[in-house]
């Protein structure tokens, strides 16, 4: 297992920063008085794109922000600097599980942050429960969230389920169909992995209930790189709407393929990666009108401030879906630590029952789940704006049909 362990080097840097802060803030920071936070994420392998955009930058921004403010606050009013222990799981759930076990049993870190992705979060949930760590499963989309939250009562599922996103998309398309803008045919493809399976299993009954015809319905294996056949078949289906329940490689590959073959459906929807800041570049500057999973209230002052801080620190803006929720989960964790300390049972109870002020607004979990979420977004005027739920404050009006590539 490749490791990126920062215990020695980063710890020394943070202690230096703590001494400097002590001089300016008038607080003493004794050597060794740190809070260790560990995580295992995909620095390499197929999941590295998603982790490198949504997860890792937010972890690093949050740690930097907290430490520059003197460290995590504790109930007695003291502060402790954060020290990070990181492992590269190489996009392998086996490596991930070994890394989490090492963080808990050998490194004995105070807190463990989650990996990127649905499958990885499910892979470590039993282990996190066994060691008693709270698990903020912030990038996991699953319809089984209520079941998992009940099974592992220190786990928190913050990105909703496949049925939620499918229903939101169907609502957007149904409104356009009823307005006469699109026909009632949909071409849908889905990646044959936990995420894609969850989404298509939610979408099929939702489309049927809304009176849509699935003119094309195909799955493709994880790791597929040639999407020409899929998109040719979708184009020939007569559907005005193309929907892909996809991970970033599929979202990007299908976008490029659609452009190269001149496939211009009135609705072009992809999933993970569609809200990434690199997507307009992937689309060769023609992202306008593309829909994807998630979204943000792009006009929110808190979101704009977060985007500015992220851009200044990382060099690029965050994605417009799970990034802000990831950062909000870290703010929740910090506020919970300030209220109850580092005891895992007390932290878990506070996360379950507390109310938190975050970049996405006030957050209060419902049965260990975040339910106040955006389901569909669209690129409009250079920003990825949330369009569903349409009655939620900050929602933009969907633009259909999409401009041609």
Q: How much of the chain exceeds pLDDT 90, in percent? A: 89
* Domain positions in the chain: 3-161+322-363, 162-298+375-388
What is the reported pLDDT for 195?
86
Nearest to 139 by CA among 254, 243, 52: 52
pLDDT digits (tens, 9 = 90+) for 377-399: 999 999 999 999 999 999 999 99
Residue 302 has pLDDT above 60, yes or no: yes
Q: What is the DSSP letter of 275?
A: T
Q: What pLDDT is attached to residue 102?
A: 98
CATH of domain 162-298+375-388: 3.40.50.2300
The average pLDDT across 236-246 equals: 98
Does pLDDT of 193 surpass 90? no
Residue 63, CB-side half-sphere exposure with 13 Å CA sphere: 26
Task: Indicate whether 3 pLDDT > 70.
Answer: no
Alpha helices in 210-321 (DSSP H): 228-235, 248-261, 279-282, 301-314
pLDDT for the residue numbered 101: 98
Q: For the chain, what is the mean pLDDT?
A: 92
d(CA 14, CA 34): 9
Q: Which pLDDT tens digit goes with each residue over 357-380?
A: 999 999 999 999 999 999 999 999
Contacts of residue 279, Cβ cutoff 8 Å, sequence gap at least 6 = 251, 252, 255, 273, 287, 290, 292, 379, 384
66-86 tens-digit pLDDT: 999 999 999 999 999 999 999
Q: Is the pLDDT of residue 27 over 80?
A: no
How far is it, in rounded angstroms, from Cα 348 to Cα 137?
Answer: 13
Looking at residue 174, what is its pLDDT? Answer: 98
What's the confidence (pLDDT) of residue 194?
A: 81
pLDDT tier for residue 10 given thresholds of 50, 70 and 90: very low
Class of domain 3-161+322-363: alpha beta
- Do the domains 3-161+322-363 and 162-298+375-388 sit in the same CATH topology, yes or no? yes
Q: Which two tokens stand for residue 303?
A: 């979101």
How confident is the model at residue 62, as a pLDDT?
A: 98
For residue 193, CA distances in Å to 73, 94, 141, 221, 249 come to 40, 17, 12, 8, 13
20 versus 241: the higher-pLDDT residue is: 241
Q: What pLDDT band is residue 33 in, cutting at 50, 70 and 90? A: confident
Contacts of 225 (CB under 8 A, 6+ apart): 249, 253
Q: 389 by DSSP, 3-state: which? A: coil
Go through the chain and tell me how many residues it has.
Answer: 405
Tens digits of residue pLDDT in 149-182: 999 999 999 999 989 999 999 999 999 999 999 9
The per-residue pLDDT for range 263-291, each reduced to its tens digit, is 999 999 999 999 999 999 999 999 999 99
Tens of pLDDT, residue by residue over 88-121, are: 999 999 999 999 999 999 999 999 999 999 899 9
pLDDT in tens, 194-223: 889 989 999 999 999 999 999 999 999 999
Alpha helices (H) in 69-193, listed in sequence order: 93-105, 118-131, 145-151, 162-178
**Which residue in this structure is represented by tokens 């989490």?**
100
List the one residue out of 113, 103, 84 whose CA is nearest residue 10: 84
Does residue 14 carry a pLDDT above 60?
A: no
Q: Residue 7: is its pLDDT beyond 80?
A: no
pLDDT for the residue numbered 16: 29
- pLDDT tops 80 at residue 258: yes
Q: Is-contact 69 144, C-beta < 8 A?
A: no
| Cα distances (angstroms) measured from residue 168 to each of 59, 297, 389 | 29, 16, 7
Strands annotated E in 89-195: 111-112, 135-137, 155-157, 185-191
Q: Which residue has the tokens 């920003």?
A: 383
Which whole number is the average pLDDT over 35-54? 95
Q: What is the DSSP string of 167-221?
A: HHHHHHHHHHHHTTSS-SEEEEEEESSHHHHHHHHHHHHHHHHTT-EEEEEEEE-
């Amino acid at each position: 297992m490749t490791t990126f362990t920062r215990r020695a080097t980063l710890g020394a840097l943070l202690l230096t920063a703590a001494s400097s802060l002590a001089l300016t803030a008038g607080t003493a920071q004794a050597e060794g008085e740190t809070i260790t936070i560990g995580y295992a994420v995909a620095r390499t392998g197929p999941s590295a794109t998603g982790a490198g955009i949504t997860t890792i930058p937010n972890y690093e921004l949050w740690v930097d922000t907290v430490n520059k403010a003197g460290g995590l606050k504790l109930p007695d009013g003291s502060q402790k600097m954060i020290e990070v222990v990181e492992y590269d799981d190489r996009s392998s759930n086996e490596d991930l599980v070994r890394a989490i076990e090492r963080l808990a049993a050998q490194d004995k870190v105070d807190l463990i942050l989650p990996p990127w992705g649905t499958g990885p979060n499910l892979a470590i949930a039993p282990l996190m429960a066994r060691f008693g760590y709270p698990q903020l499963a912030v990038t996991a989309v699953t319809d089984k969230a209520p079941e998992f939250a009940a099974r592992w009562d220190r786990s928190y599922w913050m990105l909703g389920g496949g049925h939620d996103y499918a229903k939101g998309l169907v609502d957007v398309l149904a409104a356009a169909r009823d307005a006469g803008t699109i026909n009632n045919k949909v071409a849908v493809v889905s990646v044959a992995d936990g995420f894609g399976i969850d989404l298509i299993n939610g979408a099929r009954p939702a489309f049927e209930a809304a009176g849509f015809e699935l003119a094309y319905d195909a799955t493709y294996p994880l790791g597929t790189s040639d999407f020409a056949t899929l998109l040719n078949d979708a184009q020939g289906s007569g559907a005005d709407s193309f929907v892909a329940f996809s991970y970033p490689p599929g979202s990007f590959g299908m976008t490029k393929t659609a452009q190269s073959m001149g496939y211009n459906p009135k609705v072009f929807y992809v999933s993970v990666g569609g809200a990434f800041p690199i997507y307009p570049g992937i689309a060769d500057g023609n992202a306008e009108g593309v829909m994807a999973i998630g979204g943000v209230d792009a006009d929110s002052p808190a979101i704009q401030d977060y985007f500015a801080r992220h851009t200044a620190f990382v060099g690029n803006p965050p994605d417009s879906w799970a990034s802000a929720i990831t950062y909000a989960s870290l703010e929740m964790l910090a506020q919970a630590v300030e209220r109850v300390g580092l005891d895992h049972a007390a932290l878990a109870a506070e996360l379950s029952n507390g109310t938190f002020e975050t970049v996405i607004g006030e957050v209060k979990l419902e049965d260990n789940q975040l339910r106040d979420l955006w389901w569909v977004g669209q690129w409009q005027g250079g920003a990825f704006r949330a369009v569903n739920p349409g009655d939620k404050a900050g929602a933009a009006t969907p633009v259909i049909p999409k401009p041609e590539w």
